[in-house]
């Protein structure tokens, strides 16, 4: 099957569009208030997409879910909606009440418009023709981790198509990445890796990177504005060096704009 991976250069956050032989998967939608949703709506329009077969919102942070409101405003049909099987832990400073309310309101809007909502756990798969789309993380057991933070429950997804394996890590924490390896999930032979948390050094888990293999191309998106406004390089030289050590190539949407790769 012909697959095309679009790493959309949204102003803030993440957004990936996968074209799968006539079907479309979108992973995260950027931040509405920074224009991410409108960017995605326009991008899908240029691709001629009128229906999203599967929308994955990896976790409840504005720069990943809020742009979906623009999809709803534009009347974009969404067939299936997948979200994390892990609930944010009460009191997690990285998951504010306002953000949680906005997240739920966004899901409610999509469901009211006709999307079928599921919360799949690690190991679940969905076929797209010859390709397989699967959940690598989180497992439902993460709900029992009293020390969990929202990025510990962030969804990590994988698309396998023939010899190609694309992993999209969103904002998965180092702990989440470690759990994938320790659970025995085979991530070797990864060809494209959309790395975790905008290319942050802390999320460049050496164990996970080594398990995926040297042949992959790492895609790094831009950091949230709050980081660049504080003068933090995007990404840091240390993070770039870490990824370069484990990858065949490193590409950055902030430098190149949107990146489209066949797979």
Q: What is the pLDDT of residues 152-184, one digit of tens each?
A: 999 999 999 999 999 999 999 999 999 999 999
**What residue segments make up the domains of the chain, in order of their start?**
3-262
CATH architecture of structural domain 3-262: 4-Layer Sandwich (3.60)
Which residues on adjacent β-strands are paired with residue 260? 6
Sign for the CA dihedral angle at 137, 27, 66, 30 comes to: positive
* 61-88 residue pLDDT tens: 999 999 999 999 999 999 999 999 999 8
pLDDT at 226: 47
Q: Quick check: 11 and 34 in contact, CB under 8 A? A: yes
The pTM for the full model equals 0.95
pLDDT at 95: 87
pLDDT at 233: 59
DSSP at 149: -
Which regions of the chain are under pLDDT 70? 222-234, 263
Q: Quick check: 128 and 93 in contact, CB under 8 A? A: no
Which tokens sit at 198? 């905008």
pLDDT at 116: 98
**In what helix (H) or strand (E) does residue 47 lie, and over which residues does it extend?**
helix 36-47
């Amino acid at each position: 099957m012909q697959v095309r991976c679009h790493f959309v250069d949204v102003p803030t956050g993440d957004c990936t569009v996968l074209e799968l032989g006539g079907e479309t998967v979108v992973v995260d939608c950027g931040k509405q208030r920074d224009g991410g949703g409108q960017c995605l709506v326009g991008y899908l329009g240029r691709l001629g997409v009128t229906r999203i077969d599967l929308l994955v919102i990896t976790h409840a942070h504005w720069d990943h879910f809020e742009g979906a409101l623009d999809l709803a405003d534009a009347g974009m049909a969404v067939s299936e909606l997948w979200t994390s099987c892990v609930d944010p832990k009460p009191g997690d400073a990285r998951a504010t009440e306002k953000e949680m309310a906005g997240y739920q309101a966004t899901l409610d809007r999509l469901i009211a418009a006709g999307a079928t909502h599921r919360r799949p756990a690690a190991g679940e798969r969905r076929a797209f023709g010859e390709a397989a789309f699967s959940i690598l993380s989180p497992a439902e057991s993460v709900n029992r981790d009293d020390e969990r933070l929202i990025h510990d429950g962030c969804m990590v997804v994988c698309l396998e198509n023939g010899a190609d394996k694309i992993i999209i890590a969103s904002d998965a924490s180092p702990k989440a990445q470690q759990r994938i390896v320790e659970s025995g999930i085979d991530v070797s032979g990864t060809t494209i890796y959309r790395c975790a948390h905008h290319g942050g050094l802390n999320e460049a888990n050496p164990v996970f990177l080594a398990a995926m293999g040297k042949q992959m191309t790492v895609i790094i998106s831009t950091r949230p504005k709050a980081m660049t406004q504080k003068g933090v390089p995007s990404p840091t030289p240390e993070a770039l060096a870490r990824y370069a050590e484990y990858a065949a190539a490193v590409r950055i949407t902030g430098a190149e704009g949107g990146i489209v790769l066949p797979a």
